[in-house]
Structure 1
Amino acid sequence: MGAADVVPGVSGGTIAFITGIYQRLLNAIQSVNLEAAKLLFQKGSLINNIKSLWQHIDGNFLLAVFSGLLTSAISLAKIITFMLANHPIYVWSFFFGLIIASFIHIAKQVETWNIKTILSCIFGAALAFTITTLSPTDVEPQWWYYTAAGAIAICAMILPGISGSFILLLLGMYAHVLSAVNSLAFDLIFLFITGCIIGLMAFSRVLTWLLKHYHQITFALLSGFLVGSLNLLWPWKQVLTTYTNSKGIIKPLSQKNILPDTFLQLTGQDPKQVMAISLMLFGLLLILFIEKLSKK
């Protein structure tokens, strides 16, 4: 999940769903509530209270997941930044295949495809597609921007198909957050994580309610999110307009998906089709393997 969340366009929620921990994750997050606080401050031994609280919030599970998230995000941030800068076709191809397989996996959770689930899927695809066509911005962040960005982006991070990293791009905060992680700016990281916790507490309850009352429609919506997000992950793009960020670096502002042959003609660069298709297939097969593994 940590590795996926670092890449703009890929959701950690997708990985959580495929590995079979999605519902447990939502339940554990929701359990951090007033009842948990009461367990901590009830009469009796403090050690026993902490044990009751830990069991109530599924502490071992949350510790494992979030330790993995932080470790992976910190260790892979520089690698992902390097790969996106030097080998973008390889990165996007791998995740393109991964998301296709993820769509197949989530779509199979919809037991009956009827007019409601089909419309829900179409709406999800249209919404995700629209989000991926928006142009990123760049801001000079105040301290509170990090908290606000964390609260907004975390909602996307736990939704299969919508990337929290891409939301950060739209907010103009992706580079700043990644820079804070790479430079170990703990004050800024703390502000961002605080926002993530606030957003996570609120949005997980909304999502759980939807899954409880509109299970099939919600799954169809999530599968639509995945289809719509493929627009962002297409490996071959033509840069239409650029902008200069606060550090004086020229970056793409708007791009258009093109075919590999067109990419070769426009850029003069090798589209690396064989390797790209191989990585797509690898991403697809990897998810199918993880799916079988999670069932066991």
Structure 2
Amino acid sequence: MWEKENTMNREGITTILKGMWIGGTMTVPGVSGGSMAMIMGIYDRLITSVSSFFKHPKESVTFLALFVGGAGLGMILFARLINTLLTGPADIPVRFFFLGAVAGGVPMIYREAGVKRLDAKAFIYPAVGIALVALLALLPQGLFGPQEGAGLLGMLLQLLGGVIIAVGLVLPGISVSQMLYMLGIYEGIMENIGNLNILPLIPLGIGVVGGIFLTTKVLERLMERHPQPTYLIILGFMFGSLPELFPGIPAGGALVFSALTAAAGFAALYAMSRREAAAA
């Protein structure tokens, strides 16, 4: 009993710490919380907890409460630090670190896909994922944002926008903050939240919650029935997110330093993903 209780406590602390890391990195434009969750070996558990929320409420609520609490704490603790780094001289090296970190998770996703040999599918499915990320940039800016006096059509568009945001929250490789910028609603949402003007955001919020349940259900089934294509498309999402993080090629000594930080990010996340895979 004592050993079982200790194991549960360790798992709870680990869940909080992973949530803190994922929540903190989500404040970086271009970094996907889903990608980090997958690299940290917690993604499948998140998907299962959300999709089976009403079937196993006790276990799901406990796990999700620990994770969400950790993620919220991570955002609070790291948001200011990361914002300071990204607006100072360390901007480019920090972006290269996260670029390397995202790339460090790619081998793990490739292993999860179970590719035995390089054939057409190993290239086609990732290309589909990259294309889907690129298509997000073509959506009209501001279309799904809170608009006063827009009536029923405006509410329906916000619901749809919430579902699109939920897809970005659930799928690895898609940065939610970047998606909000691409949809042209980041400033509007932040302004409403800052002014505690929550009413215009309700339809968007309903769309997000509904979209999360819908997306996790679909994704869980795809992972069970078609694991290889699903993971390869997710790999494409991750590849598609890399250009958003790339700050350009620095000059002089900054190039060497940026290369070193990218290598450090890659090594850290690659080692972490290998350890998680071994533990599983």
TM score, norm. by length of structure 1: 0.71
Aligned residue identity for 1:124? G
**How many residues are treated as equivalent by the alignment?**
245
Task: Note closer, same or farther for the CA distance 1:109–1:172 as it changes in structure 2 (3 Å cut).
Answer: same
In the other structure, the counterpart of 2:8 is none
1:124 and 1:224 in contact (8 A); partners too: yes
Q: Cα offset for 1:124?
A: 1.4
2:146 and 2:189 in contact (8 A); partners too: no
Correspondence 1:142 to 2:147: yes
In the other structure, the counterpart of 1:227 is 239
SS in 2 for 1:125: helix
Contiguous gaps of at least 5 residues in structure 2:
1-21, 149-154
Aligned residue identity for 2:250? P
Correspondence 1:260 to 2:250: yes
User: In the alignment, which of 192, 196, 212 is matched to residue 224 of structure 2?
Assistant: 212
User: In the alignment, which of 272, 277, 280 is matched to residue 290 of structure 1?
Assistant: 272
In the other structure, the counterpart of 1:272 is 254
Cα-to-partner distance string for 1:229-280 (whole Å, 9 max, x where unaligned): 21111122xxxxxxxxxxxxxxxxxxxxxx434xxxxxxxx78223311221
Task: Note closer, same or farther for the CA distance 1:231–1:167 as it changes in structure 2 (3 Å cut).
Answer: same
In the other structure, the counterpart of 2:34 is 13
Q: Quick check: which has more Rg, 1 or 2?
A: 1
Q: Cα offset for 1:219?
A: 0.8
Task: Note closer, same or farther for the CA distance 1:226–1:6 as it changes in structure 2 (3 Å cut).
Answer: same
In the other structure, the counterpart of 2:263 is 281
In the other structure, the counterpart of 2:53 is 32
What aligned pairs does 1:1-296 form with structure 2 within 5 A after superposition? 1-33=22-54, 35=55, 53-55=57-59, 58-86=60-88, 87-112=90-115, 113-131=118-136, 137=141, 141-142=146-147, 149-178=161-190, 183=194, 185=196, 187=198, 191=202, 194-236=206-248, 259-261=249-251, 272-294=254-276, 295-296=278-279
Task: Note closer, same or farther for the CA distance 1:136–1:83 as it changes in structure 2 (3 Å cut).
Answer: farther
Aligned residue identity for 2:211? G
Identical amino acids, percent of aligned pairs? 27
Q: Cα offset for 1:125?
A: 2.4
Contiguous gaps of at least 5 residues in structure 1:
37-52, 237-258, 262-269
Aligned residue identity for 2:32? S
Q: CA RMSD in A?
A: 3.1
* Counterpart Cα distance in 1 of 2:34 and 2:74: 15
* Counterpart Cα distance in 1 of 2:255 and 2:187: 29
* Counterpart Cα distance in 2 of 1:109 and 1:224: 14
2:146 and 2:200 in contact (8 A); partners too: no
Larger mean Cα displacement after TM superposition, 78-87 or 144-153: 144-153
Q: Cα offset for 1:218?
A: 0.7
Higher helix proportion, which one? 2
Cα-to-partner distance string for 1:21-69 (whole Å, 9 max, x where unaligned): 1111111101123x56xxxxxxxxxxxxxxxx313xx222111111122
